[in-house]
Amino acid sequence: MAKVQTTDIRHQPYWLDQTGPAPATGGTLPDRTDVLVIGSGYTGLNAAQVTAAGGRETLVLDAGDPGFGCSTRNGGQVSTSVKPSLPKLTAKFGEQKARAIRQTGVDALEWLGDLIESEGLDADFRRCGRFHAAHTPEHYETLVRDAEQMRRDEALESIVVPRAEQHKELGTDTYFGGLVYPRHCSVHPGKMHRAMLIRALDAGATVIGNCKVTGVEKTSQGFTVTTAKGKVQARDVVVATNGYSDGIVPWMQRRVIPIGSYIIVTEELPEATIDRLFPTDRIASDTCKVVYYYRTTPDRRRILFGGRVTTGETDTVSSAKLLHQSMVRIFPELEGSAISHSWNGTVAYTFDELAHTGTHDGIHYAMGYCGSGVSMAGYLGMRTGQKVLGLAEGKTAFDDLPNPTRPLYTGKPWFLPAAVGYYRWLDARQCRAAAAGA
């Protein structure tokens, strides 16, 4: 296998090369505010936009630069975001609730598309569809059954693609067919974050970066929020820290599992290569437990390839090499391709694979998107802003769900290396068996 060149790689998100100078943010920390939002990703900015537009003095604080977290680091794949199937959710919550949860995923996807298109946001938004590839023949059969169930019970369209026709979707022989989800979309995450930042500022919110919140204390008037730059009194607090949550509200910390996700981007490739590998230009992912996700960049000149590479966390030099190997396994003709960018970010999983939102001890929150938050984070952020304003439409199907944790879990996922190791072993074994039988 060719060695990937790692010395010239930029260890920051490719997206940040194209977002241009940031709008003016910052300023003096006020003594008080109506609403204080912790975290300036999609969740926090959309909550802030709603409360500021609703006439509440709104302050957004971030420990890093605005958008430091996942919202400028992701793969830009937009899906319906709800991982558990309707049958699985029905068994747990009953049919009505299960349908409401699944529908919220569809609503989030539609909300994002409508927002971008109706306001003309510069986010390279495309209704391109997703090809979800089966890594074994058995997984292909499961996808075919899923497609039928979704069409029959949820009116969700998908197109079955047998292995013989796979090259129409993706230039690889690695998979055993798959499903196209025509409603899934793609965005430029960096541009989308920038557009959401500008919307929040235009609505009147103040955004201050490099101002870490270190404590939130309840008072008779609301909350005292302690930060690296001083204290602020706030009537309402929204926690929007997702995978970067760092224990300011221990109850929330016990309910999210931070997991690193890693991405590489190739250098510019010949047009013919891109056309051969991504003929439809859909986003793509696979059925492995430790999933890989990939796509072309919005200018269709490069390939972006992401996933989890090791059982524990690693650095972006090692992840570049490992992701390159995995990419070449799927697309052997990329063996000699160089990598231009390698980065990572921390997503938040939950113990039931569902996002959670609501209030705890009077503190609003939305988090736990399980690696699929590009539409859901902004959507639940927007709904959280409405709840802060006291609007009934802020309530979602996710609001009154039980929010599970595990005994002794405090937010450090000691069990993750074992779990990821097991799933990687399972994926590899299944792939080997499938390849031997093919």
Residues that bind ligand FAD (CB under 6 A): 38-44, 61-64, 68-71, 73-77, 212-213, 240-246, 248, 261, 263, 293, 306, 345, 347, 367, 369, 371-374, 377
259/434 with CB nearer ligand FAD: 259
Kindly state the smallest distance separating residue 154's Cβ from ligand FAD, in Å. Answer: 19
Judged by DSSP in three states, 6 sits in coil
What are phi and psi for residue 206, nearest 5 degrees? -100, 130
Kindly state the smallest distance separating residue 43's Cβ from ligand FAD, in Å. Answer: 4
What are phi and psi for residue 257, nearest 5 degrees? -115, 105
104/136 with CB nearer ligand FAD: 104
In Å, how far are 49, 196, 270, 400 from 357, measured between CA atoms? 18, 20, 45, 8
75/394 with CB nearer ligand FAD: 75
Kindly state the smallest distance separating residue 347's Cβ from ligand FAD, in Å. Answer: 5
- With a CB cutoff of 8 Å and minimum separation 6, the contacts of 187 are 76, 78, 112, 116, 123, 124, 125, 126, 374
Task: Find residue 357's DSSP bridge partners.
Answer: 366
90/130 with CB nearer ligand FAD: 130
39/54 with CB nearer ligand FAD: 39
239/434 with CB nearer ligand FAD: 239
Kindly state the smallest distance separating residue 185's Cβ from ligand FAD, in Å. Answer: 10
**Planar angle of CA 361, 367, 372, nearest 5 degrees:** 165
Kindly state the smallest distance separating residue 76's Cβ from ligand FAD, in Å. Answer: 6
Written as six digits, the tokens of 210 are 């490099």
Written as six digits, the tokens of 192 are 């989308």
Kindly state the smallest distance separating residue 253's Cβ from ligand FAD, in Å. Answer: 10
Q: Residues, the chain, total?
A: 438
Residue labelled with tokens 């920038």: 194
201/434 with CB nearer ligand FAD: 201
Which of 159, 157, 131 has its CA nearest to residue 144? 159
Judged by DSSP in three states, 436 sits in helix
Q: What is the C-alpha separation between 425 and 323, in angstroms, rounded?
A: 17
16/63 with CB nearer ligand FAD: 63
74/166 with CB nearer ligand FAD: 74
Q: What is the C-alpha separation between 290 and 292, in angstroms, rounded?
A: 7
84/243 with CB nearer ligand FAD: 243
Q: What is the C-alpha separation between 376 and 211, in angstroms, rounded?
A: 25
**Planar angle of CA 350, 356, 361, nearest 5 degrees:** 110
Summarize the chain as % helix, strand, coil (round to 5): 35, 20, 40
Judged by DSSP in three states, 284 sits in strand
Kindly state the smallest distance separating residue 162's Cβ from ligand FAD, in Å. Answer: 26
- With a CB cutoff of 8 Å and minimum separation 6, the contacts of 155 are none
- What is the DSSP track for 410-433? -S--TTHHHHHHHHHHHHHHHHHH
Kindly state the smallest distance separating residue 316's Cβ from ligand FAD, in Å. Answer: 11
Kindly state the smallest distance separating residue 323's Cβ from ligand FAD, in Å. Answer: 11
Kindly state the smallest distance separating residue 272's Cβ from ligand FAD, in Å. Answer: 26
